[in-house]
């Protein structure tokens, strides 16, 4: 069972320019573990790549930013399926540590992923209204 990623939002400025030290070294994690595909690469003004999954996009860039201070929120249709899919793909976290976070008038059941490049991702399902 796989989850559908329905929305992405950066923690700070730009979902298409999340900072990494090496785009080339970072990409395999996103492809193999998180299920994204590279749709474009660029070297101008610096090395960068845009990745896509389920119609949503994110980008990695060697832009001098600090990956430990950046990341994104990915909304999914099924948070448990998302965790199990990542685990099946090689994600080594045993316990998802689910919790419910409030954002505005919505509640999300979430877990966190810290990629080897240092970026942190919150993956969550809207649990505001019963299904």
Rounded CA separation 76/4 (Å)? 5
pLDDT of residue 13: 83
pTM as predicted: 0.94
pLDDT per residue as tens digits for the range 37-61: 999 999 999 999 999 999 999 999 9
Write the DSSP symbol of residue 16.
T
Which of 7, 2, 3 minimizes the C-alpha distance to 74? 7
Q: Which helix (H) or strand (E) holds 123?
A: strand 120-126
pLDDT per residue as tens digits for the range 64-114: 999 999 999 999 999 999 999 999 999 999 999 999 999 999 999 999 999
């Amino acid at each position: 069972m796989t989850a559908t990623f329905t929305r992405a939002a950066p923690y700070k400025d730009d979902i298409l320019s999340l900072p990494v030290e090496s785009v080339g070294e970072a990409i395999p994690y996103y492809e193999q573990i998180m299920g994204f595909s590279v749709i474009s690469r660029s070297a101008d003004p610096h090395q960068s790549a845009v990745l896509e999954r389920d119609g949503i996009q994110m980008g990695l860039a060697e832009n001098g930013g600090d990956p430990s201070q950046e990341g994104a929120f990915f909304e999914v249709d099924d948070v448990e399926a998302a965790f199990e899919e990542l685990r099946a793909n090689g994600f080594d976290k045993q316990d998802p540590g689910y919790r419910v976070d409030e954002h505005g008038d919505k509640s999300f059941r979430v877990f966190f992923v810290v990629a080897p490049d240092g970026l942190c991702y919150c993956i969550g399902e809207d649990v505001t209204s019963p299904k």
